[in-house]
Structure 1
Amino acid sequence: MCGIAGILLASNALDQRPLRTIGQMTMALRHRGPDGEGFWVDREAGIAFGHRRLAIVDLSETGRQPMHSASGRYVITFNGEIYNFRDLRRELEEVGHSFRGTGDTEIMLCAIERWGVEAAVKRFAGMFAFGLWDLQTRTLHLVRDRMGKKPLYVGLTRDALVFASELKAITCFPGFEAKLDEGAAMAMLSKGWVPDGNCIWRAAYKMPPGSLISVTAADLAVKRSAASLARRTRRWWSLAEVASIGQREPAAGNDEELTTELDRVLRLAVRERMVADVPLGAFLSGGVDSSTVVALMQAQSTKPVRTFTIAFDEGGFDEAPHAAAVARFLGTDHTELHLSAAAARDVIPDLPQIWDEPFGDESQIPTLLVSRLARQHVTVALSGDGGDECFAGYSRHFLASHLTRLQRLPSPLRQATAMGVGVLAHLSDHDLIESLPLSASLRHAMRSDRLYRLAHLLKAGNEDDLLQRLTSPSTETLARHQPPIPSFSSPLPNDLLSRLLFDDMTGYLPGDILVKLDRASMANGLEGRCPILDHRVVEFAWRLPADAKVRNGKGKWILRHLLGRYLPQQLIDRTKQGFDVPVGAWLRGPLRTWASDLIATARLSGAGILDFAKVDACWRAHLDGKQDRARDLWPVLMFEAWHCEATRSIASDAAKAHEYALLGD
């Protein structure tokens, strides 16, 4: 995994000096590739590529990028891994091709030369984002993997297209206008993350998952906006098509046969992701997803797998005992780090620079810290990300069937039930439930925010209304305007669970989960791999019947059943906790001054995004202890912290870009 950057000048560009900025752009990504850098520039064609290397497979010089194809027709700068490259290599060798090195990039280039760009990427199993220059046709191809695991941003200026793994490289380019996209900002304040179809800067956009675009210098002479360029992007892989095929051609077999097939497909995905020429391990929380990945790793390893867990020294936020129990049973080489709240809070000032779009999912903190821990011992870590989205692990997934049945009840009865749940939420707000002798899991389930959410869902008038409520943010938007209500283009209009899963896979997964993992791991020079999101696993998951996912009021039934082949039931059956951190308590205590200062700064900044009457009321209610409003406040605080950092760094980038522009050829 690496960091990539590139520049293509428009055919009518009068000045080639901006190509020199490729050095500054690439340097901005040095954290993604601490093992070296490389550049390729063709001034006559107006193209430049940069690459920061995190060496994983083939550590020799033959793995350096940017890399030329054997014929010299193509040049590539590539971020990611092609896990089936050995199978592709054997296939290509059988028809006469030979290779200098042992890595995947050389195989990619050969596959593209033999089969063409789109046909080749359809045969790649992996995570990838790359820029490919065709010297013969003078065309730039930009490609992103199926699920959106690897980021790829594209920016447009008056005279050039620029692309990179992160926005901080694009804002280095002279002439790039870093103007806030208010729609993206409103969406972030509502959801906590910028949707994958938006970008925080107007002049940039994200390549969608499973997409590619082909551009020439002549195209750039007439395409003057990021939006017009984005419309040329086409899909080479479609989740909508996968979902439709899965519904038309469901998997055949009984429970055991389906579980065995999942075991086979997921074992293959795990095995392919265990290929590395550097130390490798896994994140282990003790939950179903990470435990399944680690169990399949250990089943295919001749030595103990390295596993990593962090824990906060605060009650109710510690999954370490569960992880340790799983590690002991499987026989892994387990590392556990207990952190004080102060140590966790110490990383907060770094967050806006690491996530260079505003990002308000507080689980970014433990994800960053566990990545930092793992990097002290390994260079690659497998994770269980994707299990909830593929196999229905969120409460909304298994609530859906219950709530659908409740839709059949008379409206007055549903409204009365909603009112009763609202009363419980009010009691929870005032700590009255805390005084009851409840288990930790039940107390977690009866948090006021969860109860208010349930009351809101019970008021749904019909299934479409229920879908809208299930997929809308559960927090109050503190922006001046509400973001537009999204339209649902799910190909499965008659199946509520499938519509929810489709929405998660196309929204929350690429916009939040994968962004969180990529930035947290790459900030530490660590490669994160997600076997559950292998496209073959995803495609199999869409062929499963609903009751293989949700059964007996629980989600991820088939994944739990599979894990039961490797772990005893008592290590599987526990309440899902998630990567929670006690942000609410911190905001009332040690983070209070920091938060107050940010809110005051936001009031003076003039960005015009926030509704300060709402912000002030929310902040007072939280400080008074009447309600835990951390989930409403955290996106606001992260947005403002990001805005301060962006303003500072853009001013610095502009000064450096001016210096580059003054340099001669």
Structure 2
Amino acid sequence: MCGVVGLLTHGGGDLGADLDAMSAAVAHRGPDDAGRWLDPDAGVALGHRRLAIVDLSVAGHQPMTSADGRWVLVLNGEIYDHADHRHRLEGDGVAFRGHSDTEVLVELIARRGPEAAVAAVDGMFALAVWDRRERVLVLARDRVGEKPLYYGQVGDAFAFASELGAVRQLSHTSTSPDPQALADYLRYGFVPAPHSIVPGIDKLPAGCVVRVASPTTVSEPVPYWSLASVAAAGLADPLALDDRELVQLADTALRASVRRRLEADVPVGTFLSGGVDSSTIAALAQAVSTQPVRTFTVAVGGEGDESVTAAGVARHLGTEHTTLPLGDLDPIDLASRAASLYDEPFADPSGVPTALLCAAARQHVTVCLSGDGADELLGGYNRYRVAHGGLSRLLALPGPLRRGASRALTTPSPVGWDRLARVLPGRTPAIGTKAHKLAGVLAADDHMAAYAVLATRWDPATLMTNPPPPSATAVPGLDAALPLDRMLLADQERTLPDDMLVKVDRASMAVALEVRVPFLDHRFVELTWRMPERAKVRDGHGKWVVRQVLGQYVPHELWDRPKMGFDPPVADWLRGPLREWSHDLLAPDRLRRQGLLRPEPIARALAEHDSGARNHDYALWTVLMLQTWLDGATP
């Protein structure tokens, strides 16, 4: 895992100073080594910051040139099947200087070309490779978007980088937000690809390649792997297996993925929250290992603390477990960290606890495996269970009846619902917020409109002073598929790469920790699209097949409980320790001076939230994180 940066100009200038400034901006991603390669006549400069994981010697130094001298590569990420490709290349006569995965990839590119090479490997990566013969720069990103890559024209130059902050080191970058990116951010709480918050700078979409012949001659992104195509092909060729066979197939595929992701020349561990996903990865890691696996959880205290559950799972598995106490979490400090961790507005509140976990784990290991991705692949969120269950029946009811039920659900405030839940049998976390979300779903006209209600934080048309033309909120593809499949595809193409994986990448790389995600092995992703719906959502639970895999290793009573999530109590913080800070940042006069957002809807949301009449925690957090990005304000 590393940081990559680079420039392409019309040639003849001094690129060193700009390249060094960009490289310094991503130094936290790679503290072990720094490299640069420049060809002033060709106008190209490549920079690299290395976090050494495989082949710790100087033989892994980047930028790396192929043996024939034609290709110069900078790579951020890991190629998990590099040993297989190395064996085949050695059979073709390639003599390797070291044993790094980077050297394997550059030699594979030399023989097959960039597009064929990236389509052939299993890995998480973002890369740039310069073709010295044809004078063409090629950018590529892994299939599901685990590793980021920004690119675009800045002044007279073309620039790329692992993080937006590196591009912003260059003069001529805009300081005003891109209108479409701002609208998308307000809707979702993150900026979906291909846009970034900086005008003229894009994110390379997952599974795509771009060719750059000159600073102004940049191809459109060309997919070498497409989730929509994978989904359509999988649904057209479903697995005809019984339950036992499905579980065995998933177990075998995940074991293989975990085994590949445990290989490194540095200490490796796994996150273990005690939930289904991380417990499954930890169980499989221990099953394929000959020594106790290092596992890590954090003790945050309070109602959401799952460290005791995680410790019980670890004892059963026999892992070498560490509970990392975070102490008292200061809301003011956490809000400040949230403002500084990401280089464009990002409003996932779990980002900061994730960063704290990564920082604590980094004291012990350099690589950690994570359970991310299972929710989006196999229906782990509440909205999937709603889509699979009674949503069709609800939407079949007459509109007036649904709208009346919607009004009834919002009559009690979220606080009122939560009080009622305390005297009822059973326990549903955040029942008030969920009741109000259900009210929005009842008012929708169809399944994807209901999904949009659940995914939307603000309507940009009512919040922005000058909103751009409406963009499509639905992800194209699978129009004739079941509602569950359409929702899964939408989340895999948008929420997974641009929210969940951004969170993991920035939180981990801020402390130079490499996080690997076994559920996102592209072969397992392809397999899930061939699985029947019953393998995903069944009996009111998502991720059925993963739960069955885990049950083979850990007794259900150690992990079978309601999903807790990893979000801090933002709703309470905004009514308590962050109240003054939030009101200052969202003061109407301040918003009017900025000229981007209308103050009235925000003031109304603040008042309703303060009184407890409504829970607007995510919506308010979204505009607060925008404010901190706009002017660097901290609590």
Offset, 1:104? 0.1
Offset, 1:196? 1.9
Offset, 1:553? 1.6
Counterpart position of 2:267: 279
Map Cα deviations across residues 183-212 of structure 1 (whole Å, 9 max, x no partner). Answer: 211221221111122210112000000001
Q: Using the alignment, how far apart are the partners of 1:155 and 1:303 within structure 2?
A: 46
Secondary structure at the aligned position of 2:349 is classed as coil
Counterpart position of 1:353: 340
Specify the code of the residue in structure 2 equivalent to 1:110: E
Structure 2 unpaired stretches of 5+: none
Identity of aligned residues (%): 44
1:399/1:481 Cα in 2 relative to 1: closer, same or farther (>3 Å)?
farther
Offset, 1:39? 0.4
Counterpart position of 1:657: none
Offset, 1:325? 1.5
Q: Using the alignment, how far apart are the partners of 2:370 and 2:440 within structure 1?
A: 33
Verify: 1:577 aligned to 2:564, yes or no: yes
Structure 1 unpaired stretches of 5+: 224-228, 648-665
Q: Using the alignment, how far apart are the partners of 2:578 and 2:400 within structure 1?
A: 44
Q: Using the alignment, how far apart are the partners of 2:416 and 2:178 within structure 1?
A: 36
Offset, 1:100? 1.1
Verify: 1:244 aligned to 2:228, yes or no: no
Counterpart position of 2:51: 54
Verify: 1:624 aligned to 2:611, yes or no: yes
Q: Using the alignment, how far apart are the partners of 1:291 and 1:53 within structure 2?
A: 30
473-482 vs 79-88, greater mean Cα deviation: 473-482
Map Cα deviations across residues 274-315 of structure 1 (whole Å, 9 max, x no partner). Answer: 01111111111111111111100000112211111113223x
Secondary structure at the aligned position of 1:49 is classed as strand
Q: Using the alignment, how far apart are the partners of 1:621 and 1:590 within structure 2?
A: 17
User: If the length of structure 1 is used for normalisation, what is the TM-score?
Assistant: 0.90
Counterpart position of 1:5: 5
Give 1:24-63 correspondences, 5 Å limit: 24-63=21-60
Secondary structure at the aligned position of 1:486 is classed as coil
Secondary structure at the aligned position of 1:173 is classed as coil
Counterpart position of 1:299: 287
Map Cα deviations across residues 586-623 of structure 1 (whole Å, 9 max, x no partner). Answer: 22222223223322498168332222112222222223
Offset, 1:492? 4.4
1:622/1:407 Cα in 2 relative to 1: closer, same or farther (>3 Å)?
closer
1:166/1:397 Cα in 2 relative to 1: closer, same or farther (>3 Å)?
same
Q: Using the alignment, how far apart are the partners of 1:602 and 1:93 within structure 2?
A: 67
Map Cα deviations across residues 549-572 of structure 1 (whole Å, 9 max, x no partner). Answer: 111121111111111111112123
Q: How many residues align?
A: 630
Give 1:200-279 correspondences, 5 Å limit: 200-217=197-214, 220-221=215-216, 223=217, 229=218, 232-279=220-267
Kept in 2, the 8 Å contact 1:244–1:492? The answer is no
123-132 vs 636-645, greater mean Cα deviation: 636-645
Verify: 1:373 aligned to 2:351, yes or no: no
Q: Using the alignment, how far apart are the partners of 1:507 and 1:604 within structure 2?
A: 29
1:539/1:580 Cα in 2 relative to 1: closer, same or farther (>3 Å)?
same
Q: Using the alignment, how far apart are the partners of 1:463 and 1:9 within structure 2?
A: 48
Q: Using the alignment, how far apart are the partners of 2:577 and 2:551 within structure 1?
A: 43
Map Cα deviations across residues 439-487 of structure 1 (whole Å, 9 max, x no partner). Answer: 4x32x1512x211111121233344544443544489975446764514
Secondary structure at the aligned position of 1:51 is classed as strand
Q: Using the alignment, how far apart are the partners of 2:387 and 2:16 within structure 1?
A: 53
Counterpart position of 1:650: none
Specify the code of the residue in structure 2 equivalent to 1:570: E
Offset, 1:412? 4.7
Verify: 1:645 aligned to 2:632, yes or no: yes
Specify the code of the residue in structure 2 equivalent to 1:638: M
Q: Using the alignment, how far apart are the partners of 1:86 and 1:519 within structure 2?
A: 28
Counterpart position of 1:455: 439
Counterpart position of 2:319: 332
Map Cα deviations across residues 394-440 of structure 1 (whole Å, 9 max, x no partner). Answer: 111110022013333444544444344333x436447642652554x
Report the aligned-residue RMSD. Answer: 2.2
Give 1:103-502 correspondences, 5 Å limit: 103-217=100-214, 220-221=215-216, 223=217, 229=218, 232-314=220-302, 316-343=303-330, 345-401=332-388, 402-423=390-411, 425-426=412-413, 428-429=415-416, 432-433=419-420, 436-439=423-426, 441-442=427-428, 444-447=429-432, 449-473=433-457, 478-480=463-465, 484-502=471-489
Q: Using the alignment, how far apart are the partners of 2:140 and 2:326 within structure 1?
A: 39
Q: Using the alignment, how far apart are the partners of 1:422 and 1:193 within structure 2?
A: 27
1:431/1:406 Cα in 2 relative to 1: closer, same or farther (>3 Å)?
closer
Specify the code of the residue in structure 1 equivalent to 2:248: T
Q: Using the alignment, how far apart are the partners of 2:63 and 2:437 within structure 1?
A: 50
Q: Using the alignment, how far apart are the partners of 1:350 and 1:27 within structure 2?
A: 20
1:312/1:474 Cα in 2 relative to 1: closer, same or farther (>3 Å)?
farther
